[in-house]
Chain A
Amino acid sequence: MEIGLSHYLVLSTILFAIGLIGVMRRKNLLLLFFATEILLNSVNVAFAAISHYHGDLTGQMFAFFVIAIAASEVAVGLGLLIVWYKRTGKIDLDMMTTMRG
C-alpha cells in the first residue's frame, strides 16, 4: 500500500486528539505540558507532509518555527512548575482551587 498525504493527515489528527484528551483529563502538571507538546508536534507532522505534497519547502520551515515555540512555551511552564513545587510540594492540578471563577 502506498502511504500518501491522507495517511499522514490522519496520523496528525489522531495525535492532536490524543493531545487534546491529555490536556482535558490529566491531573499531573508535567503530563499536561507533555500533552500540549503533543498538540503542537502533531501539527508539525501535518506541516511536513503537506510541504512534501505541494513540493514546496516553506511548510518544513514552519515546522522548525513551531518546534522553537513549543520549546519556549515549555521553558516558561517548567520554570513556573518549579516555583509551584517549591511552594506546595505537589504538582497536582487539584491543588489549584483557591479561586473559583
Chain B
Amino acid sequence: MLEQLLLILPMAITVIGAFFLMLLSWNKRFTLKDYNLVAVFFLMLSFIVEFPQLSNTEIIYIFPEVFGTMYIIDNFSTLFDLMFTAGAILTLLINTDYFKSRNYFNGEYFALVLFSVFGMMTLAHSNELVTAFIALEIASLSVYALAGYHKNNRLSTEAMLKYMILGSMTGAFFILGTALIYGAVGSTTLGDIALFIKSASDSESLLVITGGTFILVTILFKIGAVPFHSWVVDVYHGAPFPVTMFMASTFKIALFAIALRLYLVDFAPINVIWSELLQVITVLTLIGGSWLAISQDNLKRMLAGSSIVHSGYMLIAISSIGLGSQEAAPAIMFYLMSYFLSSVGAFGILSFIASRSNKALTFKDFKGFSQRRPYLAAMMAIFMLSLSGFPSTIGFLGKFYIFTSAIESGQILLAGLGILTAFISVYYYFKLIAMMYFYPTDEPQKKFPMDLSGVLIGLMAVLVIWGGIGTGLIPFIPGADGFIDIAKQAVLSLQ
C-alpha cells in the first residue's frame, strides 16, 4: 500500500501543486515571481521523487484491486515523466523575464501548466484507452486555455478558438475508435486488445483496425502531421511565447509517449497494416512542412512550420517500427530529446528578445544581431545548426538514428526524402544565421544578461554541443550514448 503510494507520489505532487497554486492565486499579495518559484518547486520535487524509480525495471500496476491494469508504472513511463517535468521546469524558468514584461499572466497560469503536466504524466502511465482519452483531454484542455491566455489579444483568442474546435472534433475520433475496439474486444485494456488481435481472424479484427485508424487520426492531428496541420502555424503564432514553447516541446513528447505505447504494445501484431498509410502521411508531412516553413517571414511561424517537418522525421521512425526495426523506438525518444533541447533554446532566445520589445520578430529584426548581442547570437546559431541537423550537434545524432532505423527496415526512399528535406531546412535555418552575421548594425553592443534565463539558455547550448560531440570524449561522464541506452532499456520494458 505504502509502496504504491510512493510510486504515484510524483503525479500526486504535481496535481497537489496545481491546486495549491489555484488557492494561492486568490491572494493578491504574491507576485508572479513567487508563483513561478512555487510551480518550479513542486515540479522539481516531483522530478526528484521520480528519479530513483528509473532503476526500477519491473512492471507495476497501481492498486490492482481497484483499477485493474489501467494504470501502469514501468521504465518507459518513468522516463517520459522525467522528460515532462524537466521540460516544464525549463519552460517556466527560461520565461521568467517574459512573465514580468507582460501584464496578463497571473497565478492560474502556473496552475494550468501543472495540470497539463499532470495530464501528460497520466497519459504516459495509462494502459487503457479510456484512461488515455481522459488524460489526453486533461492535458489538451489546459493547453487550450493556455493558448488563449492573452485574453485581450485578438490573435491569442483566435488561436485558441481554432485549436479548441478542431481539437475537440478530433478528440471525438479517439473516443469513437475506443468504442469500436470495445465493441469488438469487450475490453479496452491494451494487453487484452493485443491478445484478441493475436487470436482473431482477419474479419474479426476489422473493427479493431478501424478503431485503431480513428485513434491514429487523433494522434496525427495533435502532432500536426500534414493533412491535419492547418491549425499548427496559426496556433503557434497566436499563443504567448511560453505556451508555444510548451506545446512545441513538452506536449509533443507526451503525444509520442502514447503513440509509442499503442503502437508497440496494443497493435503490435497488425502494425504492418498502417505502414503504407503512415508512409504517405510522412511524405506529405515532410514536403508540406518544408513548404510552410520556407514561406514564412515571422520567426515564430517559421519555427512552427519546421516543427511539422520534425514530426515528419519521427513519423518515419514510427512506420519503421511497423516494418520490424528494433532501433526505431529508441531513435524516436532520442530525437524527441534532441528536438526538445534545440527548440526550447531557440524559442527561449526569441522570448528573451520579445520580453524587451513588443514587436513581432521577423528575419529582418535579426540583422546585425551578432554585433548587438554576440553571445546570444552564437547560441542561436548553435540551436539553428542543431535543428537543421548539422554534424557535431545533438540534432545530427537524432537524425542519424532515425535514418538508420528507416534504412534498417528497408524504407530507403523515405530515408532519402528525409535527407532531402534536411537539406531544404538548411535554407530557412541558415537564413537566420546569415541575417545575424552578415549585416552591419548601428545599435551599440549590449552586455550579456547574466540572469537566470540567459544562463539556462547558455546551458542548453552547451548540452546541444555536448550531445553531439561529447560521446566518450571524457571517460566516466555519459554523453548522448547514455541516453540512447536508457531509451533502449525503457522500450524493452514495454515488450
Q: A32-B165, A77-B164 are in contact. Are A84 and B172 (CB under 8 A)?
A: no
* Alpha-carbon distance A72/B148, docked complex (angstroms): 16
4 closest A-B pairs by beta carbon, nearest first, are A101-B233, A39-B172, A101-B234, A46-B179
A76 touches B145 (CB 8 A): yes
* Alpha-carbon distance A54/B184, docked complex (angstroms): 10
Residue of A nearest to B186 (CB): A54
- Additional A-B contacts beyond A36-B172, A43-B176, A77-B164 (6; CB < 8 A): A69-B137, A80-B160, A80-B161, A98-B154, A99-B238, A101-B234
B123-168 contacts to A, CB under 8 A, are 130, 133-134, 137, 141, 144-145, 148, 151-152, 154-155, 157-162, 164-165, 168
A101 touches B231 (CB 8 A): yes
Residue of A nearest to B141 (CB): A76
Q: A36-B168, A40-B172, A50-B182 are in contact. Are A72 and B141 (CB under 8 A)?
A: yes
Which B residues are in CB contact (< 8 Å) with A98? 154-155, 158
Q: A9-B183, A73-B137, A80-B164 are in contact. Are A99 and B158 (CB under 8 A)?
A: yes
A73 touches B233 (CB 8 A): no
* Alpha-carbon distance A66/B186, docked complex (angstroms): 18
* Alpha-carbon distance A53/B182, docked complex (angstroms): 11
Which B residues are in CB contact (< 8 Å) with A101? 230-234, 237, 292, 301
Which A residues are in CB contact (< 8 Å) with B157? 80, 83-84, 87
Residue B175 is within 8 A (CB to CB) of chain A in the complex: yes
B225-248: contact bitstring with A at CB < 8 Å (1 yes, 0 no)? 000001111100110000000000
Q: How many contacts A-B (CB < 8 Å)?
A: 103
B161 touches A29 (CB 8 A): yes
By size class, the interface of chain A is 35 or more
B interface residue numbers (CB < 8 A to A): 130, 133-134, 137, 141, 144-145, 148, 151-152, 154-155, 157-162, 164-165, 168-169, 171-172, 175-176, 178-180, 182-183, 186-188, 230-234, 237-238, 292, 301
A57-87 contacts to B, CB under 8 A, are 58-59, 62, 65-66, 69, 72-73, 76-77, 80, 83-84, 87
Residue of B nearest to A45 (CB): B179
Which A residues are in CB contact (< 8 Å) with B160? 80
* Alpha-carbon distance A32/B301, docked complex (angstroms): 27
Residue from A9, A62, A77 in contact with B130 in the complex, judged by beta carbons closer than 8 Å: A62
Which B residues are in CB contact (< 8 Å) with A50? 179, 182-183
* Alpha-carbon distance A81/B126, docked complex (angstroms): 32
Which A residues are in CB contact (< 8 Å) with B180? 46
Nearest CB on A from B171, distance (A) = 8
Which B residues are in CB contact (< 8 Å) with A36? 165, 168-169, 172
B175 touches A43 (CB 8 A): yes
Which A residues are in CB contact (< 8 Å) with B169? 20, 23, 36, 39
* 8 residue pairs A–B, Cβ–Cβ below 8 Å: A9-B183, A23-B165, A23-B169, A50-B179, A66-B175, A73-B168, A84-B157, A101-B234
Q: A54-B186, A99-B234 are in contact. Are A73 and B141 (CB under 8 A)?
A: yes
Which B residues are in CB contact (< 8 Å) with A100? 234
A6-30: contact bitstring with B at CB < 8 Å (1 yes, 0 no)? 0001001000100110010000010
B186 touches A96 (CB 8 A): no
A56 touches B186 (CB 8 A): yes
Nearest CB on A from B172, distance (A) = 4
* Alpha-carbon distance A40/B187, docked complex (angstroms): 20
Residue of B nearest to A48 (CB): B179
A72 touches B161 (CB 8 A): no
Residue of B nearest to A95 (CB): B158
Which B residues are in CB contact (< 8 Å) with A59? 182
* Alpha-carbon distance A29/B158, docked complex (angstroms): 12
* Alpha-carbon distance A80/B292, docked complex (angstroms): 28
Which A residues are in CB contact (< 8 Å) with B292? 101
A84 touches B175 (CB 8 A): no
B172 touches A43 (CB 8 A): yes
Which A residues are in CB contact (< 8 Å) with B171? 40, 73
Nearest CB on A from B153, distance (A) = 10
